[in-house]
Amino acid sequence: MTSDLANRKSLIRYAWLSIAAAVITIGLKAVAYLLTGSIGLLSDAMESLVNLAGALMALAMLTVAARPAD
């Protein structure tokens, strides 16, 4: 049972890491857009929002899955 709890905590930790990476990536791409004015970089930063949404959804589902069964 301890292994299962450790596995769940590890998965949630990776989900948070994914969220942090997505936010940092969006920030870096936004700064690069502001410095260069490249519409391609702006588009790529906006597309990274999809990655952030996916990571948030994964965290939400891992949280729901960690609840005890009825």
Place of tokens 């960690």: 66
CA separation for the pair 12, 66 (Å, rounded): 10
In the prediction, which pLDDT does 69 show?
A: 80
* pLDDT tens-digit series, residues 1-50: 578 778 888 889 999 999 999 999 999 999 999 999 999 999 999 999 99
pTM, rounded to two decimals: 0.82
